[in-house]
Amino acid sequence: MSASTSSTPIWDDVVAERAARGPLNPDCAQGKHKACAGDAWDLETDEPARCACPCHADDQAAAIAEEEAA
């Protein structure tokens, strides 16, 4: 096995991957993570839900902050 390919997923891929697992606030879906209040709508259960975007995790939020500051 050759593990020479070190491709780090870009943020959009992370968001897309998480969006496939749970409801995503439209703001986060458009990359406006600061505008997202952390809520979303679960279309499957037709109930309010938490936004599944990884930006709401503390470590990821810090990563975004660093990225935006750069």
Residues in touch with Zn ion (CB under 5 A): 25, 28, 33, 36, 51, 53, 55
Residue closer to Zn ion, measured from CB, 4 or 30: 30
Min dist CB 21 to Zn ion, Å, is: 13
Spell out a b/e string for 24-40, using b for 16 or more CB atoms within 10 Å of the CB, else e: bbebbbeeebeebeeeb
Residue closer to Zn ion, measured from CB, 13 or 28: 28
Min dist CB 10 to Zn ion, Å, is: 14
User: Which SS3 state, helix, strand or coil, does residue 48 take?
Assistant: strand
CA dist., res. 67 & res. 45, Å (int) = 34
